[in-house]
């Protein structure tokens, strides 16, 4: 029964809030359940001098909890201040698992002779909507008969001492100090209280209650209760452990007079030490504020959440309870199933704490008074923040070309929301929809991990090649977690990497025909991310056009004439030339050679021609083995016989068999004429470079000395004399401007006017069309340039005069030899010449920035060697030249036996350095 003098002070409407967040099923690790659960999610049990009510999280999740004490027909709201004053406490984990403790000596408890206690509580759980409330009423009857003379309880929010009044009443002299103000009031009860802080502080009962203290009597006991950290409590160090001390003397009015009962409680507020694996809780063995002399410890028990554990239960959990000279020590392994882990994210770094609530219960006897004291402490402990770094398990098998990784362990309160890839952020649902398999794996110890699979081929995977054949696949991730129920974000970075020798290099193949190299390059696995070197030049867009590049996404192909400047000549013989083309595929970023290809072929080439009139012509070429050779320095055996034409690739000789040191040898019915092309000193000895091998090229012609032909002849008279039929036709001649010296590509009609820089070479080709007669030869008689399209206009400048180059031109026109190839089948039908662009000037001023080129061509029979038909000549060396920038010229009239062709206009651009 509560003392009639006990009144409840300010009944403020402050709620105990349990705003538990909605938790994904299976993520919450339940607290230890020492008793069977009811289907309602509520269970109550008696734990010594306390009643314990447990709420399962499933009952309270998402709700606000309000606790009321049932006192007869009344319901008293238990606020935090009233709970500490009246002996109630509550503990809840972050997911809503809740325990409520009520002291059997607390307010609103129906006490039957200090033996049977009826505790009634009403729980009201408000949903998110205030109109929705669920009410549970719980009543529990506890019997407790093992009362010691003094019972001390240290709960999480109050200190309580219940002293037996029998044998503890100390009658005092009815002095003035202890006189009762209202002597007519003989109702037994507590009159006043003296608190020792340690200085005395006197309060009447109502003042003490207003200050938050509880004071009451039961049939056999006087109960005093104090919250922690009030003005009348103080801290004291006992055996190195900080203790909160509460000491009070209660003046009790009894029928026989005034009696004083001295009470004290001391509760530990520290004494916890942590290692990586163990929590050690130290409590003083001799709590000096409660003990005047020696004591004997009769019982020592350890418990969890207010419930004692026996030795077998402690051993199964790895708990130890021991005593030293100065301390009682409880050791609890971190991670014990009776506690729980919680995730935290200070500064977005993943940490955990472990929380557990051990209980220590002691029974000691004072050696001088034989008075027993039962001392019970419920002491919640939470470890400091422990930094965690989840481990990444890389289970990738590179040959499967899929990243397989797992991150963990993580606590059950971690929920994965999204993943940040190098290309952006995807939710878990988006990851699975994209084919990234994200799975959650739960374990029996309450932890979990997350696994994911990402194909190497996805664009979120970064790639680089440290070696030509090796690809390194790299996947940096940030897994975005939140901590429940607080919704605190936690980023967890993760990186996985794999290497594969999976690079397919580009492949080069090639073939030849009589005139061309045909090269095909098939792309490898890296695509067209390389440079191509053909010969010594990079394959630019201009060269690609020249070599007729074709590309279809998987490969490209080139067609290169063997006479191209990017081909090299290895060997020249009388009827063929061996040429080679080199192709290099190059990764310039890493300085890697990806492919090196060479193709060498023999191409048919008639290098020496023997004419019936005793003229020999021969063509020689610069071979790779003598790379420093200047072809213009070659001579025949007679050093004065030099090439009639030479450039950096070919040299062309024309001479009569009776000249240039040609030798003659007779054998059988033939005459053999031989000469040799070589490098000679003036001493007429062959010159050999100290670096390059000797260059020698023998040329020879065979002539039949005499020959006898046998013919059969028979005569048959004719009835009619044969007559010749008269026919007529037109031979066509065309002149074209080539784009370069290879004479493979030509400007078309739509390309005119052609723009050239001053003194840039112009390459012209004149061809006899629509004739397959090898007995015809095209001869360029005269060629000249004018300012206008009118071929007879003035001024004009001679380019070719009477079949030969203009000797007055300081920039000599060059007539090039023509050999047969895939396009030219009859070389005598084609003539080629080159010149450098020039301008017409007068008084050092340019008359016009364009020119036209005209030619008169004559078609001759090869057996007619008279006049202009005697053959196209070339310019002898050593003749004087003049400047081309002038207005000299003569007006020309066409004749009936000439073919007239023109080309132009050609526009001129000027560079400052050329003016």
Residue 476: CATH number of its domain: 2.60.40
Strands 754-757 and 899-909 come out as: parallel
Count the neighbouring beta carbons within 10 Å of the beta carbon of residue 830. 19
492 domain-assigned = yes
Q: Please tell me whether residues 161 and 210 are part of one structural domain.
A: yes
Q: How confident is the model at residue 753 (pLDDT cuts 50, 70, 90)?
A: confident
- CA 569 to CA 790: how far, in whole Å? 44
pLDDT at residue 265 above 90? yes
By mean pLDDT, which of 59-68, 76-85, 657-666 is the weakest?
59-68
- pLDDT score, position 897: 52
Strands (E), 239-309: 241-254, 257-268, 272-274, 278-284, 295-304, 307-308
DSSP 605-666: ---EEE-TTSEEEEEEE-BGGGTT--GGG-B-SSTT---SEE-SSEEEEEEETTSTT-EEEE
801 domain-assigned = yes
For residues 268-295, average pLDDT: 94
Residue 842 vs residue 323, higher pLDDT? 323
Nearest Cα to Cα of residue 898 among 733, 728, 773: 733
840 forms beta bridges with 848
Q: Please tell me whether residues 758 and 854 are part of one structural domain.
A: yes
Q: How confident is the model at residue 717 (pLDDT cuts 50, 70, 90)?
A: low
Instruction: Give the three-state DSSP class for 83.
Output: helix
pLDDT tens-digit series, residues 456-476? 999 999 999 999 999 999 999
- CA 25 to CA 416: how far, in whole Å? 14
Q: Please tell me whether residues 450 and 359 are part of one structural domain.
A: no
- pLDDT score, position 686: 44
Count the neighbouring beta carbons within 10 Å of the beta carbon of residue 700. 17
- CA 561 to CA 543: how far, in whole Å? 12
pLDDT at residue 824 above 50? yes
Query: With helix as H, strand as E and coil as C, how does 371-427 read?
Result: CEEEEEEECCEECCCEECCCEEEECCEHHHCEEEEEEEEEECCEEEEEEEECCEEEE
- pLDDT score, position 130: 62
- CA 315 to CA 333: how far, in whole Å? 11
pLDDT at residue 20 above 60? no
736 forms beta bridges with 765
- pLDDT score, position 329: 98
Q: How confident is the model at residue 898 (pLDDT cuts 50, 70, 90)?
A: low
Q: Please tell me whether residues 759 and 827 are part of one structural domain.
A: yes
Q: Please tell me whether residues 743 and 817 are part of one structural domain.
A: yes
- CA 438 to CA 304: how far, in whole Å? 39
- pLDDT score, position 169: 45
- CA 222 to CA 248: how far, in whole Å? 12
Q: What is the CATH number of the domain that holds 519?
A: 2.60.40.3210
Cis-peptide, bond into residue 675, ω within 30° of zero? no
Q: How confident is the model at residue 574 (pLDDT cuts 50, 70, 90)?
A: confident
Last residue of a domain, one of 465, 485, 500: 500
For residues 523-550, average pLDDT: 93
Nearest Cα to Cα of residue 677 among 642, 626, 723, 722: 642
Q: Please tell me whether residues 336 and 416 are part of one structural domain.
A: no
* Chain mean pLDDT for the chain: 84
5 domain-assigned = no
Under a CB-based contact definition with an 8 Å cutoff, are residues 86 and 75 in contact? no
Nearest Cα to Cα of residue 415 among 484, 340, 363: 484
According to the per-residue pLDDT averaged within each range, which of 467-481, 607-621, 787-801 is highest?
Answer: 467-481
Strands 776-786 and 796-801 come out as: antiparallel
- pLDDT score, position 874: 47
Q: Please tell me whether residues 422 and 480 are part of one structural domain.
A: yes
889 domain-assigned = no
pLDDT tens-digit series, residues 176-235? 334 444 444 556 789 899 999 888 999 999 999 999 999 999 989 999 999 999 999 999
Nearest Cα to Cα of residue 115 among 169, 185, 46, 31: 46
Q: What is the CATH number of the domain that holds 796?
A: 2.60.40.4100
User: What is the number of structural domains in the chain?
Assistant: 7
Tokens 């010969």 -> residue: 535
Q: Please tell me whether residues 251 and 157 are part of one structural domain.
A: yes
pLDDT at residue 300 above 90? yes
- pLDDT score, position 332: 98
pLDDT at residue 405 above 90? yes
629 domain-assigned = yes
pLDDT at residue 890 above 60? no
Q: How confident is the model at residue 168 (pLDDT cuts 50, 70, 90)?
A: very low
DSSP 583: E
711 domain-assigned = no
pLDDT tens-digit series, residues 523-534? 998 888 899 999
- CA 782 to CA 813: how far, in whole Å? 12
Last residue of a domain, one of 211, 232, 267: 267
Q: Please tell me whether residues 299 and 373 are part of one structural domain.
A: yes
713 domain-assigned = no
Q: Please tell me whether residues 554 and 642 are part of one structural domain.
A: no
Task: Report the share of the chain in percent with pLDDT over 90.
Answer: 57
Q: Please tell me whether residues 419 and 367 are part of one structural domain.
A: no
- CA 669 to CA 250: how far, in whole Å? 158
For residue 691, the surrounding DSSP H or E stretch is none
- CA 830 to CA 817: how far, in whole Å? 9
Nearest Cα to Cα of residue 159 among 267, 236, 243, 79: 267
For residues 315-333, average pLDDT: 97
Distances (CA, A) of 464 to 3, 401, 526, 794: 84, 15, 11, 68
Residues 6+ apart with CB under 8 A from 850: 753, 787, 904, 905, 906, 907, 908
Tokens 């492919």 -> residue: 595
DSSP 693: P
pLDDT at residue 452 above 90? yes
819 domain-assigned = yes
What are the CB-based long-range contacts (under 8 Å, 24+) for 706-713? 706/669, 707/669
Q: How confident is the model at residue 687 (pLDDT cuts 50, 70, 90)?
A: very low
121: left (phi over 0), alpha (psi -120 to 50) or beta: beta
Last residue of a domain, one of 245, 267, 289: 267
Domain containing residue 123: 42-143
Q: Please tell me whether residues 759 and 815 are part of one structural domain.
A: yes
């Amino acid at each position: 029964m509560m003392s009639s003098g006990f009144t409840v002070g300010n009944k403020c409407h402050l709620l105990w809030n349990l705003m538990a967040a909605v938790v994904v099923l299976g993520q919450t690790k339940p607290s230890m359940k020492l008793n069977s659960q009811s289907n309602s999610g509520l269970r109550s049990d008696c734990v010594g001098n306390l009643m314990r009510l447990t709420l399962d999280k499933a009952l309270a999740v998402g709700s606000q909890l309000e606790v009321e004490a049932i006192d007869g027909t009344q319901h008293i709201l238990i606020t935090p201040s009233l709970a500490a004053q009246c002996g109630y406490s509550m503990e809840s984990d972050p997911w809503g698992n809740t325990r409520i403790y009520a002291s059997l000596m607390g307010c609103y408890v129906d006490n039957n002779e200090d033996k049977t206690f009826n505790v009634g509580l009403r729980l009201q759980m408000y949903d998110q909507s205030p109109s929705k409330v669920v009410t549970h009423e719980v009543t529990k009857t506890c019997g407790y008969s093992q009362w010691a003379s003094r019972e001390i309880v240290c709960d999480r929010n109050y200190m309580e001492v219940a002293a037996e009044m029998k044998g503890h009443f100390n009658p005092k002299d009815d002095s003035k100090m202890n006189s009762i103000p209202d002597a007519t009031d003989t109702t037994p009860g507590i009159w006043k209280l003296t608190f020792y802080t340690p200085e005395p502080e006197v309060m009447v009962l109502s003042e003490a209650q207003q200050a938050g203290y509880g004071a009451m009597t039961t049939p056999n006991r006087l109960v005093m209760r104090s919250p922690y950290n009030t003005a009348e409590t103080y801290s004291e160090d006992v055996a190195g452990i900080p203790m909160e001390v509460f000491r009070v003397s209660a003046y009790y009015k009894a029928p026989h007079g005034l009696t004083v009962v001295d009470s004290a409680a001391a509760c530990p507020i520290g004494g916890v030490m942590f290692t990586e694996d163990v929590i050690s809780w130290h409590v003083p063995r001799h709590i000096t504020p409660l003990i005047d002399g020696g004591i004997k410890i009769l019982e020592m028990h350890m418990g969890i959440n207010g419930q004692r554990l026996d030795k077998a239960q402690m051993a199964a959990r790895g708990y130890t309870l021991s005593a030293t000279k100065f301390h009682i020590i409880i050791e609890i392994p971190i991670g014990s199933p009776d506690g729980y882990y919680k995730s935290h994210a200070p500064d977005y770094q993943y940490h955990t704490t472990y929380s557990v609530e051990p209980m220590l219960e002691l029974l000691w006897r004072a050696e001088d008074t034989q008075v027993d004291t039962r001392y019970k402490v419920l002491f919640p402990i939470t470890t400091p923040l422990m930094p965690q770094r989840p481990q990444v398990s890389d289970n990738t098998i590179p040959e499967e070309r899929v990243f397989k990784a797992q991150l963990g362990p993580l606590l059950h309160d971690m929920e994965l929301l999204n993943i940040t890839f190098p290309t952006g952020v995807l939710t878990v649902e988006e990851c699975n929809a994209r084919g990234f398999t994200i799975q959650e794996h739960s374990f029996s110890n309450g932890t979990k991990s997350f696994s994911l699979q990402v194909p190497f081929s996805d664009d979120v995977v970064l790639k680089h090649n440290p070696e030509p054949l090796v690809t390194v696949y790299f996947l940096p991730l940030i897994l975005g977690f939140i901590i429940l129920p607080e919704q605190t974000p936690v980023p967890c970075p993760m990186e996985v990497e794999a290497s594969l020798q999976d690079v397919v290099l580009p492949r080069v193949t090639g073939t030849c025909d009589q005139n061309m190299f045909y090269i095909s390059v098939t792309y490898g696995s890296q695509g067209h991310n390389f440079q191509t070197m053909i010969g010594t030049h990079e394959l630019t867009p201009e060269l690609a056009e020249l070599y007729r590049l074709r590309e279809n996404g998987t490969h490209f192909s080139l067609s290169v004439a063997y006479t191209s400047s990017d081909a090299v000549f290895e060997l020249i013989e009388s009827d063929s030339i061996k040429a080679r083309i080199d192709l290099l595929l190059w990764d310039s970023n890493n300085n890697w050679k990806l492919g090196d290809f060479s193709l060498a072929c023999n191409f048919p080439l008639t290098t020496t021609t023997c004419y019936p009139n005793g003229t020999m012509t021969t063509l020689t070429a610069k071979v790779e083995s003598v790379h420093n050779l200047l072809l213009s320095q070659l001579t025949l055996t007679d050093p004065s016989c030099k090439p009639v034409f030479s450039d950096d690739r070919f040299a062309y000789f024309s001479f009569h068999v009776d000249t240039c040191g040609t030798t003659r040898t007779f054998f059988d019915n033939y005459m053999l004429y031989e000469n040799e092309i070589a490098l000679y000193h003036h001493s007429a000895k062959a010159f050999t470079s100290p670096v390059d091998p000797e260059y020698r090229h023998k040329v020879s012609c065979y002539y039949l000395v005499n020959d006898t032909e046998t013919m059969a002849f028979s005569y048959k008279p004719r009835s009619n004399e044969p007559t010749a039929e008269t026919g007529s036709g037109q031979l066509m001649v065309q002149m074209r401007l080539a784009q370069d010296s290879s004479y493979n590509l030509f400007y078309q009609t739509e390309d005119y006017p052609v723009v050239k820089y001053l003194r840039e070479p112009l390459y012209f080709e004149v061809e006899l069309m629509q004739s397959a007669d090898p007995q015809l030869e095209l001869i360029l008689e005269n060629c000249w340039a004018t300012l206008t399209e009118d071929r007879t206009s003035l001024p004009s400048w001679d380019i070719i005069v009477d079949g030969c180059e203009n000797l007055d031109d300081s920039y000599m026109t060059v007539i090039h030899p023509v050999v047969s190839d895939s396009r030219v089948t009859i070389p005598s039908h084609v003539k080629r010449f080159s010149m450098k662009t020039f301008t017409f000037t007068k008084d050092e001023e340019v008359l016009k920035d364009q020119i036209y080129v005209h030619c008169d061509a004559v078609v001759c029979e090869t057996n007619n060697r008279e006049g202009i038909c005697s053959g196209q000549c070339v310019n002898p060396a050593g003749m004087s030249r003049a400047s081309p920038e002038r207005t000299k010229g003569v007006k020309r009239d066409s004749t009936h036996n000439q073919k007239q062709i023109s080309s132009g206009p050609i526009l001129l651009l000027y560079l400052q350095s050329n003016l």
